[in-house]
């Protein structure tokens, strides 16, 4: 039997975590070992989200784990929440994406912008995994520029009528409820969020086929054609582009942690391979080129771990900024993609097989690099933060 | 059902242990400690028994250093109701000393069951459970892999060499849990948060030296690298010669 995954902790970062944070991390790590790792390769090849894992994830309390207990959530701090994302993505970015969407993109906006009735109705059901959610912001022609969206919501006597299309929607075809963002007038300030049951008349979701990345995750196109929803479907406290961007900041925070998990998985695999694979009469880990690879990986992972932890502490203190989250998402996903690629290369021909993880992580991370604010967009956000000059307009 | 579970804090089996400078104990720096895996079966069994009975209490007892409070909280996060830490920095090498301290704590508790793991994975002694039973004058069944309880009677199955031994016993009793008894649950996130609020009583204990002293710990000798003599039938003669003359095992 292969030795149990022990994580990567070169700087005793464990010593900076409290007992609950470590316990949460250990629970999720053990669950990933026992339930996710045995099925992920097959799910990836089959191009299917391993749906059978949802009840187990819900039972552990992984969905919306940083939201309050009164809504059926675990009420964890943001560092513990980040560690959950790290451990899930150690398994697979697609499974982490599922949890990110459920928690940060659907439960969070209902919690942050919803009425008390909406919170009571949806959050406990979503925490228990009985209801799956998706988040409709991105459109076919409006990815990095969501302000230009063309989906509209028109107020009628008894509610709203929604028209438009959304694309690249994780969980789209599995969800029972969608948080859809639409303009209620012409400008971006009129954007509001709507809680739309996916069985509403005129709502359809179609899986996007042919993905070479995030294959163990459902990605769909949503079409809304004269979808009628009642008055209370609108998230009352949502208003303007700022609202969906707040959701993205919440999700990006989890992604910054998740990417570290993927990088740790690749590094762990690379180290173990380098120590056991013999070439020219000695383990390849004894060659300088591979040692350079491993040393670079460990350095980047250690830096990213510390970055996440401090970002989490700032978030718990209510002091983190969206720009700080941008820096972490940009840095960590980029470093994780590089590490996955180098690990893949270190593994030689074996590295292209699904029984090893690195190439799966590499392919996944190419999506993570692009979604939730592309690497380039985060560069411009930081550029604006540094210079005070916007490169967008 | 009133159940006590006695647990131990042990080094994680994946940890690479180092021997301390005194040569008699482990160097604990950087070692990750966990709830003894066999004790997880005992905790799980207690929780299932209580759930089945619909009421009762699961109390967790542990003899160990202050840091063992974390081990107790793992059991509380799984669902146990309260914990007692018998705190001492000197973990006795003699299981009898540990058994005496635990028995003193358990005495008069009106327990229906007292559960242990069948052994701790650090010292492999398998002593404390049966010793506590003896000190309390209770029946004891060790290495239980299957358990049925009917009123004040229990039937336990033990996996012994080449078969299964079925043992009937009256309650109250002391049982030690083997692998296969159940599938221990993960401490869920809400359980981890709830564990912080559960009662954990810390009682300092003074222990005697006991009758056993550890003189020295030594790591197992390093294995020498293997040698490939050759391939196919042609290599057999040389292999036999080496086994006889060099390894001297034939």
Task: Say what the pLDDT of residue B247 is.
Answer: 84
Q: How far apart are the first and last CA of chain A?
A: 57
Q: Do A69 and B190 touch (CB under 8 A)?
A: yes
The pLDDT of A290-310, averaged and rounded, is 98
For the cut 90, the answer to whether the pLDDT of residue A313 exceeds it is yes
Q: Do A19 and B70 touch (CB under 8 A)?
A: yes
What is A242-387's CATH number, 1.20.140.10, 3.10.20.30, 2.140.10.10, 1.20.1250.20? 1.20.140.10
Q: Per this entry, what is the length of chain B?
A: 250
Percent with pLDDT over 70 in chain A? 99
A128 touches chain B (CB under 8 A): no
Task: Say what the pLDDT of residue B227 is.
Answer: 80
User: A24: distance to nearest CA of chain B, Å?
Assistant: 6
Q: Where are the domains of chain A?
A: 13-127, 133-233, 242-387
Sign, Cα dihedral of A21, A335, A314, A68: negative
Is residue B224 very low, low, confident or very high in pLDDT (cuts 50, 70, 90)?
Answer: confident
Selection from B77, B69, B14 nearest residue B40 by Cα = B77
Instruction: Work out whether strand B163-170 and strand B153-160 pair parallel, antiparallel, or are unpaired.
Output: antiparallel
Chain A residues with CB under 8 Å of B75 CB are none
Task: Say what the pLDDT of residue B41 is.
Answer: 98
Mutation for B interface: A57, A61, A65, most B CBs within 10 A: A61
Q: Nearest-CA residue of chain B relative to A68?
A: B190
A372 in active site: yes
Q: Reduced to 3 DSSP states, what percent helix, strand and coil does chain B have, rounded to the nearest 5?
A: 30, 30, 45
- Considering the domain delimited by A13-127, tell me its CATH architecture: Orthogonal Bundle (1.10)
Selection from B17, B7, B51, B38 nearest residue B220 by Cα = B17
**Contacting A residues, span 4-63, partner chain B, CB-CB under 8 Å:** 4, 6, 12, 19-20, 23-24, 27, 30-31, 59-62
Is residue B93 very low, low, confident or very high in pLDDT (cuts 50, 70, 90)?
Answer: confident
Task: Say what the pLDDT of residue A3 is.
Answer: 73
Q: What values do phi and psi take at B81, rounded to 5?
A: -85, -40
Question: What pLDDT, in 10s, does the model give residues A193-225?
Answer: 999 999 999 999 999 999 999 999 999 999 999
Q: Taking an 8 Å Cβ-Cβ cutoff, which residues of chain B contact chain A?
A: 14, 30, 70, 73-74, 77, 186-190, 192-193, 196
Q: Which of A67-81, A153-167, B42-56, B226-240 has the lowest mean pLDDT?
A: B226-240
The pLDDT of B183-188, averaged and rounded, is 95
CB B66 within 8 A of CB B97: no
Task: Say what the pLDDT of residue A1 is.
Answer: 46
Chain A residues with CB under 8 Å of B187 CB are 23, 27
Task: Provide CB contacts within 8 A for A338, sequence distance 6+.
Answer: A300
- DSSP structural state of residue B166: E
Q: What values do phi and psi take at B175, rounded to 5?
A: -125, 145
Phi-psi region of A50 (alpha: psi -120 to 50; beta: other; left: phi over 0): beta
Q: What count of Cα atoms within 13 Å lies in the side-chain half-sphere of residue B78? A: 28
CA A205 to chain centroid, in Å, comes to 20
Closest in B30, B73, B192 to A24, CB measured: B192
Q: Do B190 and A24 touch (CB under 8 A)?
A: no
Number of A–B residue contacts, CB under 8 Å: 45
**Residue with tokens 């649950």, as numbered in its chain:** B185
Fold of the CATH domain B2-204: Rossmann fold (3.40.50)
Percent with pLDDT over 90 in chain B? 75
Is residue B231 very low, low, confident or very high in pLDDT (cuts 50, 70, 90)?
Answer: confident
Mutation for B interface: A1, A8, A10, A20, most B CBs within 10 A: A20
The pLDDT of B113-123, averaged and rounded, is 96
The pLDDT of A129-158, averaged and rounded, is 95
Chain A residues with CB under 8 Å of B186 CB are 27, 30-31, 60
Kindly state which CATH superfamily the domain A133-233 is placed in.
Answer: Butyryl-CoA Dehydrogenase, subunit A, domain 2 (2.40.110.10)
Is residue A2 very low, low, confident or very high in pLDDT (cuts 50, 70, 90)?
Answer: low
Chain A residues with CB under 8 Å of B14 CB are 3-4, 6
- Interface predicted TM-score of the whole assembly (ipTM), two decimals: 0.87
User: Maximum distance among all alpha carbons in chain A?
Assistant: 80
Rg of chain A's alpha carbons, rounded to an integer?
A: 21
Q: Do B189 and A65 touch (CB under 8 A)?
A: yes
What is the reported pTM? 0.91
Task: Say what the pLDDT of residue B246 is.
Answer: 86
Rg of chain B's alpha carbons, rounded to an integer?
A: 22
Closest in B14, B74, B189 to A76, CB measured: B189
Q: Nearest-CA residue of chain A relative to B13?
A: A4
């Amino acid at each position: 039997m292969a030795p149990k995954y022990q994580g990567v902790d070169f700087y005793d970062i464990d010593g900076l975590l409290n007992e609950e944070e470590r316990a949460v991390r250990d629970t999720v790590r053990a669950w990933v070992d026992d339930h996710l790792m045995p099925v992920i390769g097959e799910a990836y090849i089959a191009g299917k989200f391993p749906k059978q894992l949802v009840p187990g994830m819900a039972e552990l309390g992984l969905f919306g784990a940083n939201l309050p207990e009164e809504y059926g959530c675990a009420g964890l701090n943001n560092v513990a929440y980040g560690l959950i994302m790290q451990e899930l993505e150690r398994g697979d970015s697609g499974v982490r994406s599922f949890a990110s969407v459920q928690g940060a993109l659907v439960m969070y906006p209902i919690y942050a912008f919803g009425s008390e009735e909406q919170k009571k109705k949806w959050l406990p059901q979503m925490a228990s995994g009985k209801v799956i959610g998706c988040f409709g912001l991105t459109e076919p022609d409006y990815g990095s520029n969501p302000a230009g969206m063309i989906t509209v919501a028109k107020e009628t006597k008894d509610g709203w009528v929604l028209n438009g299309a959304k694309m690249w929607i994780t969980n789209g075809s599995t969800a029972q409820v969608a948080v859809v963002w639409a303009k209620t007038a012409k400008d971006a300030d009129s954007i509001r969020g709507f809680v739309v049951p996916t069985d509403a008349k005129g709502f359809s979701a179609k899986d996007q086929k042919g993905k070479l990345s995030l294959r163990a995750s459902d990605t769909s196109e949503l079409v809304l054609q004269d979808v009628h929803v009642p008055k209370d479907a609108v998230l009352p406290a949502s208003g303007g582009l700022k609202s969906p961007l707040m959701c993205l900041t919440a999700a990006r925070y989890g992604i910054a942690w998740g990417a570290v998990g993927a990088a740790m998985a690749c590094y762990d695999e690379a180290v173990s391979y380098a120590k056991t694979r013999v070439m020219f009469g000695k383990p390849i880990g004894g060659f300088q080129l591979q040692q350079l690879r491993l040393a670079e990986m460990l350095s980047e992972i250690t830096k990213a771990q510390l970055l996440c932890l401090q970002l989490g502490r700032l978030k718990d203190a209510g002091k983190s900024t969206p720009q700080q989250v941008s820096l972490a998402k940009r840095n960590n996903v980029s470093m994780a993609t590089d590490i996955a690629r180098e690990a893949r290369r270190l593994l030689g021909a074996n590295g292209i097989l699904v029984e090893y993880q690195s190439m799966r992580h590499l392919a996944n991370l190419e999506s993570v690099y692009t979604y939730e604010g592309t690497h380039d967009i985060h560069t411009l956000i930081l550029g604006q933060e540094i210079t005070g000059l916007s490169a967008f307009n | 059902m009133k159940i006590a579970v006695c647990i131990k804090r042990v080094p994680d089996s994946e940890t690479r242990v180092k021997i301390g400078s005194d040569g008699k104990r482990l160097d604990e720096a950087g070692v990750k400690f966990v709830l003894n895996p066999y004790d997880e079966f005992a905790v799980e069994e207690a929780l299932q028994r209580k759930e089945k009975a619909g009421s009762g209490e699961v109390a967790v007892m542990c003899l160990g250093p202050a840091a063992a409070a974390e081990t107790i909280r793992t059991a509380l996060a799984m669902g146990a109701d309260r914990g007692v830490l018998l705190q001492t920095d000197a973990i006795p090498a003699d299981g009898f000393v540990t058994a005496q301290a635990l028995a003193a704590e358990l005495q008069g508790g009106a327990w229906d069951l007292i559960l242990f793991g069948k052994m701790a994975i650090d010292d492999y002694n398998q002593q404390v459970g049966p010793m506590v039973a003896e000190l309390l004058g209770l029946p004891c069944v060790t290495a239980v892999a299957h358990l049925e309880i009917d009123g004040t009677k229990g039937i336990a199955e033990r996996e012994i060499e080449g078969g299964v031994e079925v043992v009937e016993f009256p309650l109250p009793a002391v049982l030690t849990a083997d692998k296969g008894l159940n599938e221990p649950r993960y401490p869920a996130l809400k359980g981890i948060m709830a564990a912080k609020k559960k009662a954990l009583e810390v009682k300092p204990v003074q222990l005697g030296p006991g009758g056993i002293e550890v003189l020295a710990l030594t790591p197992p000798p390093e294995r020498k690298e293997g040698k490939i003599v050759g391939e196919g039938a042609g290599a057999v003669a040389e292999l036999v010669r080496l086994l006889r003359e060099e390894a001297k095992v034939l």
